[in-house]
Amino acid sequence: MDVHAPHQPVHTWRDFFTHLTIVTIGLFIALTLEAFVEYLHHRHLVHEARENIRHEIETNHEAAQKDLVLLQRNVDSQVANIKAIHELMADPKNFHGSIDNSMNFDSLNDAAWRTARDTGALGFMPYDEVQRYSDLYMLEDLVNKNVIAAGVQDFDAISSFKMGYDPGSLPADEYVLLLRKNASIQIQFTTLKEFVQQFDDHCVAELKR
């Protein structure tokens, strides 16, 4: 934005106020146009952020629906493990079952939310809308952290079988440890399933808006 001095000399107050009015109007128009361009830019930024976040919530809703099924399978697997460990303890020589510690989970995404935050788009959205998104993604973060914790705990549960003993010849306290670890994982998966259900409920509520 450039402001130039008058090309002709100013001789009277009328000339002075005429030039002042012209400059003032010019500055006003320039500032108005600049503000309008900024407004359009912010509006586009918010629109794009909303579209990306909504698409991400739809994707996460689909993933959460799959995860609820997978987590129930994980819980059922731990129930089967506990039953198998009891059978192994009762008759280790004739045990023909199996103990399976594995975990399946469809990951949840937050790239659109982080992009909206980093580009400043959230600053141009209504407070209530940003608060809803924030609550949703805080719950997603809680889910993701518990997924990692459950995975580590699940894989750690097979440590008793990695000590070089035959599964039917473990020390007595190792069988109890196996039971405790698998029962703990069952609780972890059940809790994680509740978190995913809460997250999915939030997704559904947001998609209905």
Q: Is residue 3 part of a domain?
A: no
Count structural domains, the chain.
Answer: 1
Q: Is residue 64 part of a domain?
A: yes
pLDDT of residue 7: 54
Q: Is residue 2 part of a domain?
A: no
- Exposure letters 179-196 (e unless 16+ CB within 10 A, then b): bebbbbbbebbeebbebb
Over residues 154-175, mean pLDDT = 82
Find all residues with CB under 8 Å of 151, minimum gap 6, and list them. Answer: 103, 105
Beta strands in 18-150 (DSSP E): none
Q: Is residue 8 part of a domain?
A: no
Closest by Cα among 125, 129, 134 to 43: 125
Residues spanned by the domain of 47: 13-208
pLDDT classification of 93: cutoffs 50, 70, 90: confident
For 38, phi then psi, to 5°, come to -65, -40
pLDDT, tens digit, 9 for 90 and up, residues 118-161: 999 998 899 999 999 999 999 999 999 999 999 999 888 888 87
pTM of the model: 0.78
Is pLDDT of 15 > 70?
A: no
Is pLDDT of 189 > 90?
A: yes
pLDDT, tens digit, 9 for 90 and up, residues 49-79: 999 999 999 999 999 999 999 999 999 999 9
